[in-house]
Amino acid sequence: SQQGEEDPQALSIQEGENATMNCSYKTSINNLQWYRQNSGRGLVHLILIRSNEREKHSGRLRVTLDTSKKSSSLLITASRAADTASYFCAINRDDKIIFGKGTRLHILP
Partner 1 sequence: GAGVSQTPSNKVTEKGKYVELRCDPISGHTALYWYRQSLGQGPEFLIYFQGTGAADDSGLPNDRFFAVRPEGSVSTLKIQRTERGDSAVYLCASSPQDRGTQYFGPGTRLTVL
Which residues, 56 to 75, sit near partner 1 by CB under 8 A? none
| CB of residue 44 to partner 1, shortest distance in Å | 7
DSSP letters of 62-104?
A: EEEEETTTTEEEEEE-S--GGG-EEEEEEEEETTEEEE---EE
Cα angle for residues 11, 60, 17 (degrees, 5° grid)? 40
Q: Which listed residue (44, 78, 81, 108) binds partner 1 by CB under 8 A?
A: 44
| CB of residue 50 to partner 1, shortest distance in Å | 10
**Closest CA relative to residue 23, chosen from 84, 75, 81, 94:** 75
| CB of residue 52 to partner 1, shortest distance in Å | 14
**96 interacts with partner 1 by CB under 8 A:** yes
Indicate the pairing of strand 10-14 with strand 103-108. parallel
Q: Which listed residue (72, 102, 105, 107) binds partner 1 by CB under 8 A?
A: 102
d(CA 62, CA 32) in angstroms, rounded, equals: 13
- Cβ atoms of 88 and 105 within 8 Å: the answer is no
**95 interacts with partner 1 by CB under 8 A:** yes
Which region, judged by CB under 8 A, interacts with partner 1, from 14-22, 59-67, 74-82, 87-95?
87-95
Interface contacts to partner 1, rule CB under 8 A: 3, 30-31, 33, 35, 41-45, 48, 88, 92, 94-102
